[in-house]
């Protein structure tokens, strides 16, 4: 399939890109890894594509001074996977990137594009929720928790550009786990679960669990998070996470099968996070 005809603008500044988006039929293109297939399938027919990849300064990864990171929206998946700064501060993010498609796609796709595309089975929207990301746009800063509104739907206005992803530091002694099940390596997840466990004096100071691919948006399994007061709570938390999702069934797996996966993957992700936090196996971040 070929895309419908469109005009093309390679913007060199955010102001130029925002001005071009005043045209209702304009659409941003970043890595093109989600947009181009949608054009080719004729699911979209914008009259103008505004390429933001030549705008300087949108692909930097910088320390925020408090142990967190500011990640430019044009940062590629592969950079998140290999950056020493990301690996040191948010190893769960680097680890999750290995599950995104194949290297060719990871070399082109951007964090901003993945968040704005908001595929319910994509890893990065889930990671943004897990890591309490703040998303900076050309108009405001919005919490990841308020950004994803439905499948392929976000709080972004038509002329708003995501510019930066701000990740606050994780607490000390935080361990992490990321577990994904896909039918083949590189396929979109049937379901994935990310978790962090933060310990203080042997007690759980905080537990976070995000479930990906089992609802219209990624979900924080808040009912499960509060059950993790010690290691023996992992099984109960996994059952609670299962109860919190409303998956759809499709030819890849029924709703019941996906719900089952949520329980299994939550148990595995929490166990890995616990081990890393407590130093009983696996590296602690």
List of residues contacting ligand FAD (CB under 6 A): 27-35, 37, 52, 73, 100-101, 105, 108-110, 112-114, 116-117, 122-124, 156, 161-162, 188
| Residue 29: CB minimum distance to ligand FAD, A | 5
> What minimum distance in Å lies between the beta carbon of 271 and ligand FAD?
24
Q: Which is nearer to ligand FAD, 116 or 245 (CB)?
A: 116
Between 52 and 273, CB nearer to ligand FAD: 52
Which tokens hold the place of 206?
Answer: 């905080």
Q: Please, what is the minimum distance in Å from the beta carbon of residue 269 to ligand FAD? A: 17
Question: How far apart are the C-alpha atoms of 66 and 60, rounded to whole Å?
Answer: 17
Smallest distance from ligand FAD to CB 139, Å: 11
**Which residue lies nearer to ligand FAD by CB, 33 or 198?**
33
Q: Which is nearer to ligand FAD, 117 or 173 (CB)?
A: 117
Instruction: CB nearer to ligand FAD: give 1 or 203.
Output: 1
Q: How far is the CB of 93 from ligand FAD (least distance, A)?
A: 12
């Amino acid at each position: 399939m070929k895309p419908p005809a469109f005009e093309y603008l390679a913007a060199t500044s955010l102001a130029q890109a925002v001005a071009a988006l005043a045209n209702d039929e304009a659409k941003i293109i970043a890595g093109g890894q989600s947009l181009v297939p949608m054009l080719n399938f004729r699911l979209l027919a914008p009259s103008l594509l505004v390429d933001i990849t030549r705008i300087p300064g949108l692909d930097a990864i910088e320390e925020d001074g408090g142990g967190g990171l500011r990640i430019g929206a044009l940062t590629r998946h592969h950079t998140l996977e290999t950056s020493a700064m990301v690996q040191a501060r948010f190893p769960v993010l680097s680890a999750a990137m290995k599950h995104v498609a194949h290297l060719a796609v990871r070399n082109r796709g951007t964090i901003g594009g993945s968040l704005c595309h908001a595929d319910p089975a994509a890893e990065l929207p889930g990671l943004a929720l897990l890591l309490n990301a703040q998303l900076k746009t050309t108009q405001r800063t919005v919490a990841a928790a308020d950004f994803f509104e439905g499948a392929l739907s976000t709080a972004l206005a038509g002329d708003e550009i995501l510019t930066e992803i701000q990740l606050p530091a994780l607490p000390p002694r935080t361990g992490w786990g990321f577990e994904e099940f896909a039918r083949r390596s590189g396929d979109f997840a049937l379901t994935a679960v990310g978790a962090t466990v933060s310990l203080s004096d042997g007690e759980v100071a905080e537990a976070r669990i995000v479930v990906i691919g089992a609802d219209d948006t990624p979900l924080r399994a808040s009912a499960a998070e509060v059950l993790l007061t010690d290691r023996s709570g992992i099984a109960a938390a996994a059952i609670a996470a299962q109860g919190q999702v409303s998956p759809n069934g499709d030819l890849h797996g029924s709703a019941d099968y996906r719900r089952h996966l949520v329980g299994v993957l939550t148990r595995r992700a929490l166990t890995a996070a616990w081990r890393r936090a407590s130093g009983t196996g696996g590296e602690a971040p």
